[in-house]
Every structure is written in structure tokens, then in C-alpha cells.
Amino acid sequence: MARVAFVIASHSDLLARGVVELAQQMAPEVFFQAAGGTDEGGIGTSFDKIDAAVSACLDKVGDGDGAGVVILTDLGSATMTVESVLDFADDPDHLKFIEAPLVEGAVAAAVRAQLGDCLNDVADAARNAIGPMIELHSKQQDQQAPSAPTDGVTDTAVVADPVGLHARPAALLARLAATFDAEILVNGTDAASVLEIMALGVKQGETVELRATGPQAAESIVALKEMIENAS
């Protein structure tokens, strides 16, 4: 079971529930709570909603080693409401409020939580979510291929999934890549980063290059090739 749960705090109930729905596709075993809108159902934030969501998450994950709750928000006043909730929290050491892009942060961190990472590592994944996307976009703008080592084990795979390497397929691939003691690249990008894989925009029927180095390089390439070429 995942050690980290998430509170998605937003001015909109629909937005909060939408982010939860998307993230749960990536991390089905992770516990999420949406805390969106006011108590009356309007646009705004609610101390009571966020506080109740935090309590529910803490009850779910407990207070074991590395356990806790990551809180993500959309806009400024939601941040202030969360900070007020944290001021009254009985167990602040198990809470991490991360200022990060809401969707990207939730997706990147949820994948790490699904793998069983500790609170600090999951929080770092949310905090750093936008960095790889900016770097990859910059390289694409410059029409430069991402740098990749010339050694290691290589192979190619034809993408079978109808949606390509997007959303859930990208998350499954990233989770699989993270289980190997190897550095794995898909078209020159980090195979363990769901956001980088999604940013490639690979469609069904396209061929991707796989490259890996490290103790489990060969095993990782076989496993990733099998997953890519067999639609889930």
C-alpha cells in the first residue's frame, strides 16, 4: 500500500475532482481527497473541507516511517487557506504543502507514491514536476535531440496502445522503468518520468528507441519493449 496520500485543494470542486480522477488513472492504489469550492458549493476555498480532507488522508496512511500527505493547490487564496489548516495541524511533520503546477505535480508525485516512495521523495517529485517539461520543450524549440549515452543496451519498440504513450500508458511505463537498477531512455528521455514520456507525444504505430545502462539494462529493455508492444 502507498505510504503517501494527496489532498487536491482548488477553488473549483469540479477542478479538484478532475485532477483526482486523472491522477488516480496513473496511481490506482494511492488515496486522494478532493477539497474544492466553498462549503456552499461555489467558487472559492473552504478551511473545513481542506481540514477534513487532510484528516481523512492521515487516517488512511497512518504515521509510519515515510508516511504522510502531500497537499497541492491551484491559486493564491487556496494557498493561504492551506497554510491556515497547517497552523492548526496536530501532526505537521507528516504534511507537505508543495507549491507546484497542480496537474503536473499531482501526476508526477502520484506515480512515485504508487511505487511506495516516502513522503519526502514524493514531495520532491511534485516540486520538480515542471523542470523536465521546460527542459524538453527548450530542446525541441532548438531542434536538438536530447542527449543520450552511446553505450548500453538498445532496441526499438512499436507502440501498440491506441492512445500512444500518453496518460495511463506513460504512467505504467514510468512505473515499470523505476523498478529496474538501470538508467533507461525512451527516445532520449528519462523512461521513469511520466511527464517526459507524455511530452514526447508518441502515437500508436510509431517506433521508439530504447536505451539502458546499468546492472539490469538488458532485463529492463526486454520488459519495456514487451509493455510498449502490447496494449494494456
Spatial CB neighbours of 213, under 8 Å, sequence gap ≥ 6? 149, 151, 152, 153, 182, 183
Residue of 11, 94, 137, 166 marked active site: 11
Tell me if residue 216 falls in helix, strand or coil: coil
What is the C-alpha separation between 72 and 107, in angstroms, rounded? 11
Q: What contacts 12, CB < 8 A, 6 or more positions away?
A: 36, 37, 43, 74
Which neighbouring-strand residues pair with 154?
A: 211
43, 57, 88, 123, 226 from 94: Cα distances, Å: 29, 10, 13, 11, 38
Using DSSP, state whether 70 is helix, strand or coil. strand
CA dihedral 145, 222, 30, 25 (to 10 degrees): 70
Task: Report the chain's C-alpha Rg in angstroms.
Answer: 19
Distance CA 178, CA 164 (A): 20
Spatial distance between the Cα atoms of 22 and 148, rounded to a whole number of angstroms: 31
Q: Are 223 and 169 in contact (CB under 8 A)?
A: no
> Is residue 11 annotated as a catalytic residue, yes or no?
yes
Residues identified as active-site: 11
